[in-house]
Amino acid sequence: MKIITKEIIVETEGNCDIRNISEEVRKYLKESKMKEGSCCVFSIGSTASITTLEYEPGLLKDIPKILEKLIPAYSKYYHNDTWGDNNGHSHLRSAIIGTSLNIPFIKSELILGTWQQIVLIDFDNKKRTRRIAVQLTGE
Ligand code: ZN
């Protein structure tokens, strides 16, 4: 069994910036020459998330809209009292959606649906440079 760990760097605009990182993940899988196993995609940091989404213009608007209803940017958050960084909502959105995904692969292909892309969502309230760990485990 082999384990290979790589990193993807993404410059984001913050504020629910959604980026499709599927091609970068596929590139690392191809380079690894691994045939079967699982691929962990993990966002390093507590104000961003990794999930899957159909990456199309409607959902890119629907996701920020529904999150604004569930966890509004401007509300009372105790986190903001702790640090004064006003990104309590960013941490909560990240915690609820989650920071990692595990995607199985066979025959060197990720098992993803046709309309299922791997996305990074940056919830912070400012521009960020995001590091995403991609760890392939298998053979
Ligand atoms: Zn914070």
Q: Which residues of the chain have pLDDT under 70?
A: none
| 35, 139 contact by CB (below 8 A) | yes
What's the confidence (pLDDT) of residue 33?
98
* CA separation for the pair 7, 16 (Å, rounded): 21
* Cα 73 to middle of ligand 1, angstroms: 12
Q: Please enumerate in sequence order all residues whose Cβ is within 8 A of that of 24, keeping only pairs 6 or more positions apart, or say none.
A: 8, 134
Polymer length of the chain: 139
Q: Global pTM? A: 0.96
Interstrand relation of 128-138 and 100-106 (parallel, antiparallel or unpaired): unpaired
Residue 125 C-alpha to ligand 1 middle, in angstroms? 9
Q: What is the pLDDT at residue 104?
A: 98
Give distance in angstroms: CA of 90 to centre of ligand 1: 7
CB-based contact 14:122 (threshold 8 Å): yes
